[in-house]
Amino acid sequence: MTLSARGLDETEHQLTRKGREMTVRVHEFHAGRDSGTLLVFGEIADGCLVRIHSRCLYGDALASDDCDCGPELDLAMDQIQNEGAGVLLYLEQEGRGAGLTAKARGLRASELTGDDTFTSYAQLGLPADSRDYGPGVTQLVQLGLTRIRLLTNNPEKAEAVRAAGIHVVVLPLATRARSARARSYLDAKRQHRKHWFAADAGPWAPTLASPESTLVMPVLPDDSGWSEPAEEPRKRRRLR
């Protein structure tokens, strides 16, 4: 472990989550909007579970039903807690790196036009996704990890880890859309950014070309969760 073991050990404390305690150590790193916090749970080793998570105030803190961010983080932490060890990289990359204000503008534009937020970002002159996972992945390298199981649906996160020389087994997270907006956003991420989803057989179902990566698809739980009610198609309005 090349990341200061002493610095990590000085932050070690107990965290109670869902009625169970686990040991956590933390390290903050600074890289502009790609800054974040490294949280090490339990005693990690090569092959441990890792979640790289970009901040989503609405989903993570306000429990919004309009995206899968909160459920993915919760499911990832459940798996880390069940194993007794793992790493969470929590990155300050709100709004796919654009920030909360830009994200809000994109959401408003989508409501006015009916377009997804990737299209709305383009109309507003914003990049579809400006996140750089390099600074976060560097923390994994400094922990001395050479193999990880990555809890993600995002192929760009897997590629960033692989590019750093770490062997990746990708474990996509199977969550259910909890609203019509959430389902539309999942479809948009699949179409525009090639995200993986359980039982994904769509035309953009992705693959991993790199021999340094392995993809293990999960199975969705039997409960169907939210289902969309029948509704009138929304009229598109001109974006002003």
The owner of tokens 């959401």 is 107
Based on the residue annotation, tell me whether 131 is a catalytic residue of this protein: yes
Give the three-class secondary structure for 92: coil
Which one from 55, 96, 131, 190 is the annotated catalytic residue?
131
Question: Nearest-CA neighbor of 46 among 8, 73, 3, 86?
Answer: 86
Give the C-alpha distances (Å, rounded to integers) separating 139 from 43, 58, 85, 88: 16, 26, 16, 11
50 is written with which tokens?
Answer: 């890792």
Which candidate in 105, 129, 178, 190 is catalytic? 129
Is 70 in contact with 107 (CB distance < 8 Å)? no
Active site residues: 129, 131
